[in-house]
Structure 1
Amino acid sequence: MTQQDQKPSRSFAGIAGIVAAATLISKVFGLVRQQAIAAAFGVGAAATAYSYAYIIPGFLLILLGGVNGPLHSAVVSVLTKRRREEAAPLVETVTTLVAGSLLVVTVAQVLFADAIVDIVGHGLEETTRAIAIQQLRIMAPMALFAGLIGIGFGTLNAANQYWLLSISPLLSSITVVAGLGILAMQLGKDIIKPEYALIGGMVLAWGTLAGAVLQWLVQLIVQWRLGLGTLRLRFDFKSPGVQEVIKIMTPATVSSGMMPINVATDLYFASPIPGAAAGFNYANLLVQTPLGIISNIILLPLLPIFAKLAGPENWPDLKLRIRQGLLLTAFTMLPLGALMVALSVPIVQVVYERGAFKPEATELVSSLLVAYGIGMFVYLGRDVLVRVFYALGDGQTPFRISIFNILLNIILDWFFVKPFGAPGLVLATVGVNCSSMLMLLWLLDRKLNGLPWREWGLPILGLAAGSVVAGVASYGTLVGSQQLLGKTGLLIVVLQLCLSGFVGIAVFAAIASWMRIPEVNSFISRLRQRFLKK
């Protein structure tokens, strides 16, 4: 929707403050959910089956229904350029089209659940396989709700509604935790016994589906109140606005759909490794908690700005905004990745090691966390660049790159799984993200008539070097504190983690301050002013 149709614009830092607070609450609940699953099932049959059953419905929810997903990005890119009265018919038509398509996907998952599980989990034990098949059939309707949620996110984002976008995913966490709580009250300590794995697996599946339904209902109510569309069926598929959404959405959706294929490939290679699939979920959650908060802070405000600067006459300003997005990504992701690598073991111990989650599981998950930490910057940096292409109305380029990366991921999985085991599969994903980011930058350089490589590259390299120094300082502090205090006891581990993390952050902050990067200093200053004013 155009500026005259909206409330006065909030500043980038103002939006970031709202998004940060709401996303933090949502991610904390997500972490609590994963802790509850870890304590109840560890890396046993219920959690392992859930990892395989969740591949398609879960990734549809995250990618199609997620903030910054292809549906969200396409709807924002189109609605931002149009008047408010055009929004409802456009949203209703897109909803009709997407819902019809995803109903077919839902039915297909129910009918072919056993074949899907057999493809991605060829080495699963029979009990785990049976649980996964039932879980997939229960969660199959999430395909439909994923599309509806993604459209709603885009509609609300275009209307400057940021709080609900960032906080509504906590509903899924609440329903899963509530279900596990009821199950724990019924079974007590017996919940961890293998004979109750089927019951636990069903609770996980039904809780996840209930959360998706609630998330959609909450945003639908707000959407109705704002007059931005109802559940009315519309078939005006040839209108210019709808055609523009389809032009961006179709390749972007297919491109995003390549990611579950990559994950399924990873799980295929991981299936002979005991506990690897569940380990991926636990380690990924630890990375996605800060990554999700920061990605929302950076991408939510920037996506409408990218769309408004898509015209050739605005490309100089667009390049400045892309630089801002990449430098803020480097400033946040590089030091966080370094801390993940340096402090992987105490992080996993503090968050997960209780109940059915034993030291052996800590060893597995911490090794995976190291590999994830290495790739945090390229993961989010790639997302920033993909959103630029969406804003320019080009969904084909990210799609073609995703097709190429499927083959690359298979090759890297095959090479890395033998020498490195499960962490090698994560390193393969890091390699794929590096490849994507480099190709996107090269193509963007050609599309925008040149990029200032030196102006972008030198600050990022400096921040990378500062992150390495900070990681070394953090790890050294951890080793020193362990020599003095030992390695056992939750309070001692928490103290060591806090102290080591503080040292690493302080070292990086000193280096970043010395570098005097304008975008970083301006963002921090405005964010500080906002929170101090409150």
Structure 2
Amino acid sequence: MTQQDQKPSRSFAGIAGIVAAATLISKVFGLVRQQAIAAAFGVGAAATAYSYAYIIPGFLLILLGGVNGPLHSAVVSVLAKRRREEAAPLVETVTTLVAGSLLVVTVAQILFADAIVDLVGHGLEATTRAIAIQQLRIMAPMALFAGLIGIGFGTLNAANQYWLLSISPLLSSITVVAGLGILAMQLGKDIIKPEYALIGGMVLAWGTLAGAVLQWLVQLIVQWRLGLGTLRLRFDFKSPGVQEVIKIMTPATISSGMMPINVATDLYFASPIPGAAAGFNYANLLVQTPLGIISNIILLPLLPIFAKLAGPENWPDLKLRIRQGLLLTAFTMLPLGALMVSLSVPIVQVVYERGAFKPEATQLVSSLLVAYGIGMFVYLGRDVLVRVFYALGDGQTPFRISIFNILLNIILDWYFVKPFGAPGLVLATVGVNCSSMLMLLWLLDRKLNGLPWREWSLPILGLTAGSLLAGVASYGTLVASQQLLGKTGLLILVLQLCISGFVGIAVFAAIASSMKIPEVNTFISRLRQRFLKK
């Protein structure tokens, strides 16, 4: 929506502060949810089945219905350039189109649930397979709600509504934790017994679906109050605004749909490895908690800015904003990834090792966490560049790259799973993200008539070196503290994590501050001023 239709725009740092606070709350609840699942089921049948059943409905919710997903990005890219009175008809028409399409997907999941589970979980034990099929049928309507949530997120983002976007995903965590709490009160310690895996699996599925419904309802109420569309059916598919959304949304959605295919490929190779599928979920949650907060801080404010600078006359400013996004990504993701690698074992012990989650599971999940940590920068860096293409009205380029990466992911999975086991599948994903980021940069260089490679690469290389030193310092501190204090006891583990993490962060901060990167220094200064003022 154009500036004359809005209140005075907030600063980048101001938006980032709102997003950071709201996303932190949401991610903390998400972490509590995963801790509850780990304590109740460990890497047993209920949790493993859920990993397979969640592939399609869950990834539709995350990708189509998620902040920074293709629907969100397409709607923001179009509404950011239009007047407020054009929003409601456009949003209602797009909602009609998307809901109709995803209703078909919902029915297909219900009808072909057994075939879907067999396709991605060819080596599943019979009980786990049966639980996964029932879970998938229960969660199938999440496909429909994913589309509705994604459109609503884009609409609210274009209207400068950031708080609800970042905090509403906690509703899914609340419903799952509440369901597990009720189940625990009824079964007590028997909840961890294998014979109750089916009941536990159904609680997980119904809780997840209920959370998606609540998330959509809360968002819809705010959308109605702002006059940005209702549930009215509209079929004005030929209007210019709708056509522009379709032009961006269609390839972007298909492109994002490649990610579940890659995940399904990973799970196919992982199915013979005991507990691997559940281990992916636990490790991924540890990565996605900070990554989700930081990605929202960086991408939510930048996406409307990218869209407003899409014209050729604004490309010099657009390049500055792309640099800002990439440098902030490097400044946050590189040291965070280094700490994930160096402190993987105590992180998993502190977060998960209790109840049904045993030391053997800790070893599996910590090894996966190391692999995830290696690729955190390229994961978010790729997302920044994809949003630039969406803002330029080009959804085809990310789509073509995603098609290529499906084949690349299969090859890397096959190659890495033999020597590295389950972590090799994560390393394959890291390789795919590296490939995507490099291709996007090369194509963006051609599209924008050249990029200042030296100005961008030197500070990123410096931040990479600083992160490596921080990781080494953090690991050395951990080893020293373990020799002094031992390796057991929750309080000791937490103390070791805090000390080792602080040392690593201090080393990185000293190196980064000496580099005097303008974007980083300005961003931190404004955030500090904002929070000190509060």
Q: TM-score band (shorter)?
A: over 0.9
Q: 1:452 and 1:481 mapped to 2: Cα distance?
A: 44
Aligned residues: 534
- 1:155 CA drift (Å): 0.2
Query: Deviation of residue 239 (structure 1)?
Result: 0.1
> What CA distance in whole angstroms lies between the structure 1 residues aligned with 2:11 and 2:165?
18
2:533 equivalent in structure 1: 533
Q: Distance in 1 between matches of 2:406 and 2:250?
A: 18
Q: 1:343-402: per-residue Cα shift (whole Å, max 9, x none)? A: 000000000000000000000000000000000000000000000000000000000000
Give the C-alpha shift of residue 285 in structure 1: 0.1
Q: CA deviation at 1:262?
A: 0.1
Partner of residue 60, structure 1: 60
Give the drift of 1:493.
Answer: 0.6
Q: Does 1:197 align with 2:197?
A: yes
Deviation readout 1:238-278 (Å, 9 max, x if unpaired): 00000000000000000000000000000000000000000
Residue 468 (structure 1) shift: 0.1
CA–CA separation in structure 1 for the residues paired with 2:479 and 2:279: 25
TM-score (norm: length of structure 1): 1.00
| Distance apart, 1:16 and its partner CA | 0.1
1:206 is paired with a residue whose SS is helix
Cα distance, 1:180 vs structure 2: 0.1
- State the 1:499 CA deviation: 0.3
For the residue of structure 2 that corresponds to 1:356, the secondary structure is coil
CA distance in 2, matches of 1:4, 1:142: 36
Q: How do residues 118-133 of structure 1 correspond to structure 2 at under 5 angstroms?
A: 118-133=118-133
Shift of 1:464: 0.2
CA distance in 2: counterparts of 1:414 and 1:88, whole angstroms: 48
The structural deviation recorded for 1:298 is 0.0
Q: What are the Cα deviations for residues 23-47 of structure 1, in whole angstroms up to 9, with x where unaligned?
A: 0000000000000000000000000
Residues 1:31 and 2:31 are matched in the alignment: yes
1:151-230 to 2 correspondences below 5 Å: 151-230=151-230
1:230 CA displacement: 0.1
- Give the C-alpha shift of residue 505 in structure 1: 0.2
* Alignment partners' CA distance in 2, 1:144 and 1:386: 24
Q: Distance in 2 between matches of 1:4 and 1:494?
A: 50
- 1:496 & 1:528 partners in 2: Cα distance? 28
- After superposition, give the CA deviation of every residue in 1:486-532 in whole Å (9 maximum; x if it has no partner): 10111101100000000000000000000000000000000000000
The residue aligned with 2:322 is 322
Q: How many Å apart are 1:114 and its aligned residue? A: 0.1
Q: CA deviation at 1:533?
A: 0.2
1:194 Cα offset (Å): 0.3
Looking at structure 1, the residues matched to 490 and 154 of structure 2 have their Cα atoms a distance apart, in angstroms, of 42
CA distance in 2, matches of 1:201, 1:7: 47
Which whole-Å CA distance do the structure 2 matches of 1:379 and 1:44 have between them? 29
1:269-314 Cα distance to aligned partner (Å, 9 max, x none): 0000000000000000000000000000000000000000000000
The CA deviation string for residues 112-145 of structure 1, in whole angstroms up to 9 with x for no partner, is 0000000000000000000000000000000000
Between the aligned partners of 1:378 and 1:181, the Cα distance in structure 2 is: 37
Q: CA deviation at 1:49?
A: 0.1
SS in 2 for 1:230: coil
Shift, 1:193, TM fit:
0.2
SS of corresponding position for 2:371:
helix
> Deviations along 1:135-174, whole A, 9 cap, x unmatched?
0000000000000000000000000000000000000000
Shift of 1:195: 0.3
With structure 2 as the length reference, what TM-score do the two structures score?
Answer: 1.00
Q: How far apart are the structure 1 equivalents of 2:504 and 2:382?
A: 25
- What residue ranges of structure 1 are gaps of 5+ in the alignment? none
**In the aligned structure 2, how far is the partner of 1:220 from the partner of 1:496?**
45
Q: Distance in 1 between matches of 2:211 and 2:431?
A: 33
- Using the alignment, how far apart are the partners of 2:423 and 2:334 within structure 1? 19
| Residue-by-residue CA offset, 1:407-431 (whole Å, 9 max, x unaligned) | 0000000000000000000000000
Q: Aligned equivalents of 2:530 and 2:136: distance in 1? A: 45
Whole-Å separation in 2 of the counterparts to 1:93 and 1:45: 42
Partner residue, 1:87: 87
- Separation in structure 2 between the aligned mates of residue 145 and residue 180 of structure 1, nearest angstrom: 23
Q: How far did residue 88 of structure 1 move?
A: 0.1
d(CA) in 2 for partners of 1:169, 1:490: 29
SS in 2 for 1:228: coil
CA deviation map 1:165-218 (0-9, x unaligned): 000000000000000000000000000000000000000000000000000000
SS in 2 for 1:235: coil
SS of the residue corresponding to residue 355 of structure 2 reads: coil
Q: Distance in 2 between matches of 1:39 and 1:8?
A: 47
- Ranges of 4+ aligned residues in structure 1 off by more than 4 Å: none
Q: Give the secondary-structure state (helix, strand or coil) at the position aligned to 1:247.
A: helix
Q: Counterparts of 1:488 and 1:145 in 2: how far apart (Å)?
A: 44
| C-alpha deviation, 1:224, in angstroms | 0.2
2:466 aligned counterpart, secondary structure: helix
Partners of 2:310 and 2:225 lie apart in 1 by 30
User: Which runs of no fewer than 5 residues in structure 2 stay unpaired?
Assistant: none
Partners in 2 of 1:300 and 1:148 — Cα distance? 19
Q: Distance in 2 between matches of 1:337 and 1:230?
A: 42
- Structure 1 distance, partners of 2:159, 2:219, is 13
What does residue 107 of structure 2 align with? 107
Shift of 1:219: 0.3
Query: Quick one: distance in 2 between partners of 1:60 and 1:73?
Result: 15
In structure 2, the residue corresponding to 1:203 is in which secondary structure? Answer: helix
Partner SS state of residue 361, structure 1: helix
Deviation (angstroms), 1:478: 0.1
1:50, CA displacement in angstroms?
Answer: 0.1
Instruction: Measure the CA separation in 1 of the matches of 2:205 and 2:271.
Output: 21
Shift of 1:108: 0.1
Question: SS of the residue aligned with 2:8?
Answer: coil
Shift of 1:91: 0.1
By how many angstroms is 1:456 displaced?
0.1
Deviation at 1:472, TM superposition (A): 0.1
Aligned-residue sequence identity (percent) comes to 97
User: Take 1:498 and 1:421, find their aligned partners in 2: how far apart are those partners?
Assistant: 30
Corresponding residue SS for 2:349: helix
Partner SS, residue 207 of structure 1: helix
Task: Trace 1:444-459 onto structure 2 (pairs within 5 A).
Answer: 444-459=444-459
Task: Give the drift of 1:467.
Answer: 0.1
Instruction: Report the CA distance between 1:10 and its aligned residue.
Output: 0.0
Q: 2: CA distance between counterparts of 1:35 and 1:200?
A: 15
The offset of 1:71, in angstroms, is 0.1
1:52 is displaced (CA, Å) by: 0.1
For the residues of structure 1 that align with 2:452 and 2:146, how far apart are their CA atoms?
A: 38
